[in-house]
Amino acid sequence: MENINNAGMPLLGDKMPEFNVQTTHGMKNFPVDYKGKWIVLFSHPGDFTPVCTTEFVAFARRNEEFKKLNTELVGLSIDQVFSHIKWVEWIEEKLQTKIPFPIIADDLGNVSKKLGMLHPGKGANTVRAVFIIDPEAKVRLIMYYPQEIGRQVDEILRSLKAMQVADANKVALPENWPNNELLKDQVIVPPAKDVDTAKKRLGDKNSYDWWFVYKSLK
């Protein structure tokens, strides 16, 4: 049964609400226009701010890596589209980095309020939120960072890769996969759900116990 969240912002497993939004690439019907693709939607507190600028450069320089994973990047803040356009021009001119993805101009705050990106205790700007949305438009991962701390884009990319591997192979992935201290790039087999399976796994060489079995995907 599909999870239905009536409390406001979508939770993990919920469908991403639909919005008609103005972006730097024109009007978009979000997430419908990205049907069949993964999406990384990320908000930033404001244009022409140092931390946000460093993040946008990092996202832009990894855009092709995201595209190889059938993933589109979409930025958002409550600035107007004119500000977004000028900021994108500044980044290209001053930092020699072209911003290839659209930025939503949520100047009325409607999207930000619905997605829980406005936190009263952190002022009137959007916090650094990240939503990873799958090809079925379901929310699969949510991250929140305070305004004063920049995100690590490589971790967002790693999380996306891990999620796709987990989906494709019906497995779980350890801390910092594929560079886990115990398992390296191996993956975790779903735990046994009956006594017979648990007993069979006790002698498995690729296990620490019946509930902790791992394998290689190679």
Q: What is the pLDDT of residues 190-202, one digit of tens each?
A: 988 999 988 888 8
The domains of the chain, with CATH numbers, are: 19-151 (3.40.30.10), 170-218 (3.30.1020.10)
- pTM of the prediction? 0.91
Q: What is the pLDDT of residues 1-10, one digit of tens each?
A: 334 343 468 9
Which residues form the catalytic set? 52
Q: Specify the pairing of strand 212-215 against strand 207-209.
A: antiparallel
Instruction: Name the percent of the chain lying above pLDDT 70.
Output: 94
Mean pLDDT value across residues 57-82:
97
Q: Specify the pairing of strand 71-77 against strand 103-105.
A: parallel
Q: What is the pLDDT of residues 119-153, one digit of tens each?
A: 776 666 788 999 999 999 999 999 999 888 999 99
78 pLDDT more than 80: yes
pLDDT at 200: 86
Instruction: Name the percent of the chain lying above pLDDT 90.
Output: 78
CA 73 to chain centre: 9
71 pLDDT more than 90: yes
Question: Using H for helix, E for strand and C for coil, what is the string for 164-212?
Answer: HHHHHHCCECCCCCCCECCCECCEECCCCCCHHHHHHHCCCCCEEECCE
Q: Which amino acid is at 100?
A: P
